Every structure is written in C-alpha cells, then in structure tokens.
C-alpha cells in the first residue's frame, strides 16, 4: 500500500513538471467583459518619396496644415506638396482589463495613394472608441509585421 501511494505520488510530481501552465483567463469568460475597438485618423511622415501624391489625396494636405497650425506654424495660403507624408487610419483593439500605459499593437492603413509606409513615423494619433472617448494614443516608427510583411 505504501509502495502504491509512493508510486502514485511520484507519477503526480513528474507529470506536473511536464505540464504546460494554463492561465485562468484562457479558461474563463466573464459576462460583459470584452475588448474595445479603437480607431483614429493620423499622419505618417518621413516616407522618403513613397507618401501620398497630394493631387490625388487633398485630405493629406488638409490634415498636415491642421497639425502644423496646432504646433504654431502659420500655413495659411501656403501650398506645400511634400511626397513624404501619408494620411492613415489607425485601428487597435484594447484588451479587457488593460492598465494605463500598457502597450497595444495598432494597425495602420493608408487612405490615399501612398506606395509604402515602411520606415515612416506616425505622428501622435488619438484613438477613439464608439462612445467618442479617447482611450489610447498611437505614435512611433512603423515596422512591418505578420505574414505579408
């Protein structure tokens, strides 16, 4: 009897050593707890000639002048046509129970006719939820990820 108990105890100890840990959040779903989809409209700069052609994407010029005016640069009546800028939509999914300052992945999609966004820098873009509140801010260098990268 003692040998059987010792053998079972040994098997239990060995089997738990090889078991993979399972998080409780992977097993349980709380009622009413879900992720929060976010969306924002922004500008990517530093594209080295692969940005929007502003003749085909006039909204890019408009957002660029709005951002510059907010920064104190007077652009009234000025015509600028840099092709190193692109207007983008930024989407993200804020996970449930995310804490303030937690990093989240965002997806950036060109709205205009930009050839490539790689290597550009996303200017600070507020991300709103369906209720209109800002829940996150996205900014930084754009890198490719995923299978199609």
Q: Give residue limits of the domains in the chain.
A: 36-141
Q: How far is CA 89 from CA 39, 60, 68, 128, 136, in A?
A: 7, 12, 19, 12, 14
Phi, psi of 87 (to 5 degrees): -80, 135
| pLDDT value for 93 | 93
> Is 62 strand, coil or helix?
helix
The most confident of the ranges 59-63, 114-118, 119-123 is 119-123
**Predicted pLDDT of residue 98:** 85
Q: Which of the four pLDDT bands, split at 50, 70 and 90, describes residue 108?
A: very high
What does the alpha-carbon distance between residue 73 and residue 59 come to, in Å, rounded to a whole number? 18
Question: What mean pLDDT is predicted for residues 7-11?
Answer: 80
Per-residue pLDDT at 77: 64
Q: Given a cut of 90, is residue 126 above it in pLDDT?
A: yes
The burial class, CB within 10 Å (0-12 / 13-18 / 19+), for 10 is exposed
**pLDDT tens digits, residue range 51-71?**
887 677 777 878 888 888 888
| Nearest CA-CA partner of 47 in 130, 131, 108, 132 | 108
Cα pseudo-dihedral 6, 9, 14, 20, rounded to 10 = 170
- What ranges make up the beta strands (E) of 14-120? 36-45, 85-94, 106-110
Average pLDDT over residues 91-95: 93
Mean pLDDT of 18-29: 70
All residues at 6 or more sequence positions from 87 whose CB lies less than 8 Å from its CB, including other chains: 41, 42, 43, 52, 57, 59, 60, 63, 110, 111, 112
């Amino acid at each position: 009897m003692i040998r059987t108990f010792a053998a079972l105890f040994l098997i239990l100890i060995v089997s738990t050593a090889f078991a993979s840990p399972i998080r409780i959040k992977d097993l349980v779903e709380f009622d009413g707890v879900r992720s929060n989809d976010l969306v924002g409209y922004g500008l990517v700069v530093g594209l080295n000639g692969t940005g929007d052609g502003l003749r085909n994407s006039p909204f890019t010029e408009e957002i660029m002048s709005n951002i510059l005016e907010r920064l104190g640069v007077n652009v009234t009546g000025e015509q600028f046509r840099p092709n190193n800028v692109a207007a983008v939509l930024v989407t993200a999914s804020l996970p449930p129970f995310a804490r303030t300052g937690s990093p989240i992945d965002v997806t950036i999609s060109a709205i205009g006719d930009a050839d490539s966004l790689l290597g550009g820098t996303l200017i600070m873009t507020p991300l709103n939820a369906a209720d209109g509140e800002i829940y996150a801010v996205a900014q930084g260098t754009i890198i490719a990820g995923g299978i199609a990268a």
